[in-house]
Chain A
Amino acid sequence: MTGNPLRSRRAEWLVTLPSLLWLGLFFAVPAVIVLAFTFHGHTPNGGVGEWSLETWRELVDPDYPAIVWNTIRISFEVTLWSIVLALPCAYAIARMNSRWRAIVAGSIMLPFWTSFVVRVFAWKTMLHPDGWLQSCYLTFLRVREWMFGWLPGSLKGLFVWMGLANSGPVDPAASTILDSEAAVVLVSVYSFLPFAIMPIYTAAEKFDFSLLEAARDLGAKSFYAFRKIFIPGIKQGLISAILMVFIPAIGSYVIPQMLGGTDCVLIGNKIFMRAIQNRNIPHASALATLMAVSVLIPIACAMWWKRRQNARDRKRLEAETARLMIGGASS
Chain B
Amino acid sequence: MSNEFLIFDHVTKRFGALTAVDDVSFSVAKGEFFSLLGPSGCGKTTLLRMLGGFERPDSGRIYLEGKDITDLPPNQRRIHTVFQNYALFPTMTIWDNIAFSLKLAKMEKGEIEEKVDDILEMIQMSEHAWKYPSQLSGGQKQRVAIARALVDRPQVLLLDEPLAALDLKLRQHMLLELDTIHDQVGITFLYVTHDQGEAMSLSDRIAVLNRGKVEQLDGPAKIYEAPASRFVASFIGDTNFLSGEIVAVDGDYCTIQCEGFPAVKAFNDRKIKVGDSVDLSVRPEKIRVTLAPPPPEKGASINVFLSTVKDIVYQGVYTKYWIESSGKRLAALKPHSRFLLDQESITWNDEVFVWWHPDDGYMVEAK
Contacts and interface: CB of A to CB of B under 8 A. Distances in A.
B117 A317 contact: no
Interface stretch (B119-127, B303-311, B314-322, B344-352): B119-127
Interface string A219-234: 1110010000100110
A328 B121 contact: yes
22 contacts: A208-B85, A211-B90, A213-B74, A213-B83, A213-B87, A214-B81, A216-B53, A216-B54, A216-B73, A216-B74, A217-B81, A218-B75, A219-B75, A220-B75, A220-B104, A221-B75, A233-B91, A317-B93, A324-B126, A324-B127, A324-B129, A327-B117
Nearest to A316: B130
Contacts of A324: 117, 120, 126-127, 129
Interface in B79-126: 79-81, 83, 85, 87, 89-91, 93, 100-101, 104-105, 117, 120-121, 126
Given A324-B117, A328-B121, A217 B104 contact: no
Contacts of A125: none
Given A320-B130, A324-B129, A325-B127, A211 B104 contact: no
A211 B87 contact: yes
A224 B152 CA distance: 18
Nearest to B129: A324
Contact of B89 (A229, A235, A325): A229
A87 interface: no
Contact of A218 (B121, B126, B148): B148
Contact of A210 (B74, B75, B83, B121): B83
Given A211-B87, A214-B89, A324-B117, A219 B104 contact: yes
A327 B85 CA distance: 31
Describe A's contact surface by its main secondary structure. helix
A321 interface: yes
B52 interface: yes
Contacts of B127: 321, 324-325, 328
B199 interface: no
A244 interface: no
B91 A325 contact: no
Nearest to A317: B130
A214 B91 CA distance: 14
Interface of A: 208, 210-211, 213-221, 224, 229, 232-233, 235, 317, 320-321, 324-325, 327-328, 331
A238 to B, nearest CB: 12
A219 B101 contact: yes
Nearest 8 interchain pairs by C-beta: A214-B87, A232-B91, A317-B130, A218-B101, A216-B74, A219-B104, A324-B126, A328-B126
B91 A210 contact: no
B53 to A, nearest CB: 8
Given A235-B91, A324-B129, A215 B100 contact: yes
Contact of B75 (A216, A233, A320): A216
B149 interface: yes
Contacts of B80: 217-218
